[in-house]
Every structure is written in structure tokens, then in C-alpha cells.
Amino acid sequence: MLRNRIFSMLLSVVASVIASSSPAMADDAEWKDPASMGSRNPGFYVRNSIGANFLDSISLKDRSNGVDSSQGVSLDLDAGFAWGIDLGWRVSDLLSVEISSGIMYNKIDSVSGTVTVGGTTVSGSTSLSGDFLQIPILAGIGFDIPLVRSPSSSESGGGVYLRLAASAGGLFVRGSLDDLGTIISAGSDNDFTWAYALTAAVEWEVGSGFLIGASYRYLGTGSMSFSAFGVPDLLSTSGVGNHQVMGTISLTF
């Protein structure tokens, strides 16, 4: 029957396509084989990152000196800006050591809770403008795990890598608040605390030693306290959490 003849012809065409594409499929399998990647030369590298910083709500400790107090206070912040720079040394194909710094900047959106200053009490949730600036100085290690081989990679490396890193160090923080309504005059204060960061990134080596990628970093901090509304250490927290989503560019020398 004509239908059977057409079906047989289709099977023949499919078989021919599969047979002709088998070498390409084999090449593609090799393209994805991390074990076939060449080694990466040790050396100094610089990585720049830029993106967005998202802060968890900052819950403040209840404080009271008998006259002035803060109770159940929390701050909500808008999505902000993050920039980072890493200076490191690639010790081996897998391991690297680095120091990093950068800037994280967020605008304060609102405050909730109860604040009493000089006998005047502000309670509830209200919009509040202000700034929250963080500058970390961290040292850590990174691991570069090969995922796929780039078609253009040579024996000197190339391809796509999963990067995992951990670091710890110090953090400079500056917080500033505008006036709370027209009742209490605010101000700004600085603090310095410890911090740690955990990073996961995917990087593509588009050229010898030149990589682009995308990363997620969680940066947690130690406790911090600020003078506000003319009261020393009125605002205090056990720590804040930063979530950063960034694009990266790095160059190995």
C-alpha cells in the first residue's frame, strides 16, 4: 500500500539522518566532557561585579535608658545597588585565594514599632527616608569546578565553570535617617562589625583568561548599633542579611 511505502521511506530518511549525525553527536558529547578540558594556568586575577542588593528587614533590639526607648522597631529597605571587586591568585586548576571589597547601598523605605525620645512617642508604621551604606573587606577561598568545555577552548583552558567561594572579614556601616515626620530630628552614625559571605557563580571563559558570568552572594553581618535622634546606641541589631545578584567580569593575568 502507498501508506506503507511512504512510512518505509520516512524510516529510511530518519535512519540516514541519525547515521550522518552520529559523528556530530559524538563531538557534542566530547564538547560537554569536563574531563577533556585543559588545565588553567595559575596567576593573578581581578574580578568586577555589579548588580542589585536586597536587604532583609532589619529588626532592632528593644532598648531603654529610663527616658528614651525603642520597642519592636524594624526597618524595611528598598532594593539597592551592589558593586564588588575581587583580587586573587589562582593557586591551582581548582583552588584560588582572594581578598574582596565593594559597596552596598540601599534606601530606607519605612519603619515600624515604637520610639520614645524626650517624652515624645512615635508608634506604628510610617514611611521613613534614609540611607544604609555597607563596605566589606573580606578574605577567602574559591573553588572553580569545570562544567562544560568550550568549542573554542585550547589546551590552556576555557569553558564554563561553577564557582563556589567563602570569605570573612570586617564591614564598615553607615546609617542615616531623615527626620521622623516633624516630631523627632534624626541624624547619622557609623559602626564597624564582622561579616561573612557565601558565593555561587557560573562563569564562561570567552577568551584566554577573560570570563563573564552571573553570581549570587549572601553576605551576613555581626551586631551593629547606631546613635539616632540624639540618643547614643538607640538603634541596635544582631545583624543583617544581604542578598546580591550580580553580573561579573574577570581577567586572569
Percent with pLDDT over 90 in the chain: 42
**Whole-angstrom Cα Rg for the chain:** 27
**4 vs 64: CA distance, rounded Å:** 90
Non-local CB neighbours of 11 within 8 Å, separated by 6+ positions? none
Q: pLDDT tens across 48-84, in order?
A: 999 999 999 887 777 776 666 777 777 888 999 999 9
CA angle, 96 as apex, 92 and 86 as ends, to 5°? 145
Element spanning 76, H or E: strand 69-77
Q: E-strand spans in the chain?
A: 43-55, 58-59, 63-64, 69-77, 80-90, 95-117, 120-148, 159-177, 188-207, 210-221, 224-228, 231-237, 241-252
pLDDT value at residue 185? 53
pLDDT value at residue 130? 83
The single residue listed with the C-alpha cell 538603634 is 235
Is the pLDDT higher at 204 or at 31? 204
Q: How far, in whole angstroms, is CA 183 from its chain's centroid?
A: 38
The full length of the chain comes to 253
Phi-psi region of 238 (alpha: psi -120 to 50; beta: other; left: phi over 0): alpha
Q: Per CATH, is 32-252 categorized as 3.30.565.10? A: no
**What would the grid cell of residue 140 be?**
577567602
Is the pLDDT higher at 189 or at 50? 50
Is the pLDDT higher at 252 or at 138? 138
pLDDT value at residue 243? 97
Q: pLDDT tens across 6-55, in order?
A: 445 444 533 443 344 444 434 443 444 454 454 566 789 999 999 999 99
**2 vs 10: CA distance, rounded Å:** 12
- The mean of the pLDDT values for the chain is 78
Is the pLDDT higher at 56 or at 122? 56
Is residue 239 very low, low, confident or very high in pLDDT (cuts 50, 70, 90)? Answer: confident
Taking a C-beta distance cutoff of 8 angstroms, is the pair 112, 226 a contact? no
